[in-house]
Amino acid sequence: MQEILIFALVPVIVGALTLASWLLGRWQVGPWLLLGPWQIGPGTLAAGLALVATFFGGWQRFWAGFRDVANRRITVNVFVTLAIFVSIAAGEFLPAAVIILIMAVVGALESYTLDSTRRSIRGLLDLTPPMANVRRGDEEVPVAVAELQYGDIVIVRPGERIPVDGVVTAGAAAVNQAPITGESMPVEKLKGHEVFAGTLNEDGRLEIRTTKIGADTTLARIVHLVEEAQESKAPIQGVADRFTVWFLPAVLVLAVIGYLTSGDVKVAVAILLVACPCAFAIATPSAVAAGIANMARRAVLIKGGIFFEIAGRIDSLVVDKTGTLTLGRPKVLEVISGDGVPKDEVLRLAAIAEKYSEHPLAKAVMALAGEKALEIPDPDEFRIEIGKGVVSSYAGQQIVVGRDVFLREQGIVIPARIEQAVTDQSDLGRTVILVVRSREAIGLLAIADEVRAETVDAIASMRSLGVGKITMLTGDNFKIAQAVASQIGVDEFRADLLPQDKQSAINEMKNKGRIVAMVGDGINDAPALALADVGIVMGGTGADVAIEAADVTLMDGNLSRLVEFVQMSRKVLRRIKINIFFSIIYNVIGLTLAMLGHLTPVMAVIFQEAGCVTVVLSSTLLLWAKVPGLKRRG
C-alpha cells in the first residue's frame, strides 16, 4: 500500500493542479486584482497553475531532452520537450499540463510494475536467516544479521542456514551448498574451509569467521544484478529509437504544413502533441518489465529484455548433467550383499547405524529402509567420524558404515567379492558405503544423484517448442553419461569434459549458426554460460561466477521453469509487436485528424495519451499471463 501511495503522489499533485487550472479557466469573471498594468484573474491563475503542473511533473523529462540534444541524439524526450514548449509558446498551457499529467500516470504504472519485480525478487531471495548466534567472549549472543561485522565468529548448528560468507574456524559439518556451487552432494566443511550465506548446515556444529556481510554476500548481489537488468534494452526496443530519429523531422514538416494551410497555430500545436511517440517508446520496456515480474513470481530471474528476444529464437539447448538434470539429492540405487546375507539385512544394519545421523547419505539409507517398511531399532551406541562414516553398536554387535578407506583404517579386511563390487559401482560414478557387522564386511550400498522427476518432460517440451538439438555435457565418465542420456532422451551427449571443453562445444555450435541456450549450475559451467547466447543457471543462487556469467537464474532449480521462460519469451515478443502496431495506428489516426483540424490541442493530448494508457494496460496483462508449462507424457 505504501508503494502505491508513493507512485501515485506525483500524478495526484499534477492532477490536482491541472484540474484547478481547468476549473479556473471556465470561470468567466473579471480580474480579481490590479497591479499596475497587470490584471490577475481566473485566466491568469489558470495559466500559472498549468505551468506549475507542467514543470513539476515534467522537469525530469525536459532535463533528459535537453541532455539528449546536447549529445546530438533525437529521442522521445526531445520530441516531448519540443511539443510541450511549442504548446506553451502558443499559449496552450492546459494541453501542456494534461499531457504531463497523463504521462505521470503512465510513469506511475510503469514504476509499479518495476517495483513488483523487485519485491518478487527480494521475496525469492529471502534465504538468509534474520538472526545469527555470535560468540562474544565465552557467550553466544543472538545478533541481527544486519548488525554483523567483519571478523565476527558466527555459530551455526545442525539444520540452520549459514547467515554470512566466511571461513570455518572450528567444528565440522556436512553443508548443502548446491545453491552456491551446484555440487550435487553435501560438502564436508572443516577448519579453514570457505562457506557461503544461504547454504544449509546438514549436521555438525560450525564456528565461522565472517568475511562478507550485507550487500557483499552472494545472495545480496543477485538483487543488484537483476535490478541492473531492468535498465537493459531488448534489440527490438532499438526500433523505437530509430523510429524517433526520422519521425520528429517528419512531424515538424507536417506541423508547418498544417499551420500554412489553416493559418491557425493551434493546428500545428495539435499535430505536435498528437504525434508524441510516447506509446511507441514504452511498447517494449513496459512489456519487458511485466514479463520480468511474471517470471520473478515463478522463481525465474532475468537480467534484461534482450534475453526474452533471444530465448524466443533458440534452436539448440545444451544442458549440464550434475545438479541440473539431477536433483543433487542422494538416493540408494543398489544394495549388494555378501555370501549368505540377505540384502534387507545389509540395509537394516546400515539404517540402525545411521539412524541418528543427519548426513544426506544417512537420509538416503533411512529413506530406502522406510520404503521397505523395515523395523529400525535405536542403536545402543553411536559415533560419527566426520567425512568417513559412523561407528555404532546394537545387540552386542559393532556396526561400522563408511567408505572403504575408513574400513581399512579400522583394520577391517574387505572380501574380494565386495571389493570388486565397490570398484564396479565406483566406475558407474556412484558413492559406495560398506556395511560391517562384528568386523566383517557383509555388503555395500551404492548411492547416486537422482534424475529430476521433471527432466524427461522438460526435454520433450523444449523439443515441442522447436528446439531442434538438445545436448548433454558432463564431466562424468562415459558410462554414467550414456545411462542418463538414454533415460532423459537427449539427442547427443559428451562426457569427461573439463570447463574449457564445454565452452568449446558451445563455440562449435555457434560457429554453425545455431542460437544456443546453456543450462548449468556451478563454477565449472561459467565459461560455457558466458559464451552461450542465453546462459541459464540452476539453483537458489548459483556460484558467484556462474551468476555473473549467466543471463537467467532458475531460483528453485526446477527445469519446468526453463520451459515457462521460453514460453513467456514468446508471449512478451508477441505483446511488444501488438503494442507497436497499435501505437502506430494511434499516431496515424491522430495525425490525420489533427491535419484536418478536427483536434484541439487538448483533444490531441487526450487522444495521444490514450495510446500510452492502452499500451501500458496491454503490457500489464503480462503480469498475470499464464504459460502452459511442461508437456506431460502419456
Q: What is the pLDDT of residue 260?
A: 85
Report, as an integer, the average pLDDT of 513-517.
91
Q: How far apart are the C-alpha atoms of 303 and 222, rounded to whole Å? A: 10
Q: What is the pLDDT of residue 57?
A: 82
pLDDT-based confidence at residue 34 (cuts at 50, 70, 90): very low
Collect all residues with Cβ–Cβ distance below 8 Å to 513 and sequence separation of at least 6.
Answer: none
Candidates 152, 203, 320, 525; catalytic one: 320
Q: What is the pLDDT of residue 4?
A: 47
Report, as an integer, the average pLDDT of 395-407.
90
Q: How far apart are the C-alpha atoms of 155 and 205, rounded to whole Å? A: 7
All three cell numbers of 394, joined, read 546394537
Dihedral of the alpha carbons of 358, 558, 119, 200, in degrees to the nearest 10: 10
For the stretch 247-251, contacts whose Cβ atoms lie closer than 8 Å and that sit 24 or more positions apart, written own/partner, are 247/79, 247/275, 247/277, 248/74, 248/78, 248/79, 248/82, 251/79, 251/275, 251/591
Q: Which of 115-124, 357-366, 507-516 has the lowest mean pLDDT?
A: 115-124
DSSP character for 161?
B
Q: How far apart are the C-alpha atoms of 564 and 127, rounded to whole Å? A: 23
Q: How far apart are the C-alpha atoms of 496 and 498, rounded to whole Å? A: 7
pLDDT at 121 over 80: no
Q: What is the pLDDT of residue 98?
A: 76
Residue of 535, 490, 492 whose CA lies nearest to 510: 535
In 20-136, the DSSP E strands lie at 33-35, 38-40, 131-136
pLDDT at 432 over 80: yes
Q: How far apart are the C-alpha atoms of 120 and 104, rounded to whole Å? A: 24
Q: What is the pLDDT of residue 7?
A: 54
Hey, what CATH class is 303-326+452-564 in? Answer: alpha beta
Computed over every residue of the chain, the mean pLDDT equals 79
Q: How far apart are the C-alpha atoms of 169 and 173, rounded to whole Å? A: 12
Superfamily of domain 328-450: Calcium-transporting ATPase, cytoplasmic domain N (3.40.1110.10)
pLDDT at 283 over 90: no
CB 417 within 8 A of CB 431: no
Q: How far apart are the C-alpha atoms of 96 and 55, rounded to whole Å? A: 10
All three cell numbers of 345, joined, read 539385512
Q: What is the pLDDT of residue 152?
A: 92
Answer with the residue of higher pLDDT: 319 or 28: 319
What does the pLDDT look like over 302-356, one tens digit per residue? 877 778 888 888 899 999 887 788 776 788 999 999 888 999 999 999 999 999 8
Q: How far apart are the C-alpha atoms of 169 and 171, rounded to whole Å? A: 7
- Tell me the backbone φ, ψ of residue 335, rounded to 5 degrees: -115, 125
What does the pLDDT look like over 526-559, one tens digit per residue? 778 878 889 898 765 444 445 556 788 887 778 8
Q: How far apart are the C-alpha atoms of 349 and 365, rounded to whole Å? A: 10
Q: How far apart are the C-alpha atoms of 147 and 137, rounded to whole Å? A: 18
- The DSSP bridge partners found for residue 319 are 472, 519
pLDDT at 124 over 50: no
Angle between helices 218-229 and 93-124 (to 10 degrees): 150
pLDDT at 145 over 80: yes
Report, as an integer, the average pLDDT of 485-504.
84
Q: What is the pLDDT of residue 472?
A: 93
pLDDT-based confidence at residue 421 (cuts at 50, 70, 90): very high
**Residue 400: alpha-carbon gap to chain centroid:** 45
Q: Is 320 a catalytic residue?
A: yes
Q: How far apart are the C-alpha atoms of 521 and 553, rounded to whole Å? A: 9
What does the pLDDT look like over 565-577, one tens digit per residue? 999 998 998 898 8
Share of the chain above pLDDT 70, in %: 81
pLDDT at 376 over 90: yes
pLDDT-based confidence at residue 258 (cuts at 50, 70, 90): confident
pLDDT at 445 over 90: yes
Pick the CATH number of 131-216 from 2.40.50.140, 3.30.420.40, 3.30.870.10, 2.70.150.10: 2.70.150.10
Q: How far apart are the C-alpha atoms of 512 and 433, rounded to whole Å? A: 46
Q: pTM for the full model?
A: 0.60
pLDDT at 246 over 90: no
What does the pLDDT look like over 40-84, one tens digit per residue? 566 778 788 888 888 888 888 788 878 877 887 766 677 777 777
Q: How far apart are the C-alpha atoms of 162 and 373, rounded to whole Å? A: 35
Q: Where are the domains of the chain?
A: 2-121+224-292+568-624, 131-216, 303-326+452-564, 328-450
pLDDT-based confidence at residue 206 (cuts at 50, 70, 90): very high
Residue of 326, 318, 359 whose CA lies nearest to 183: 326
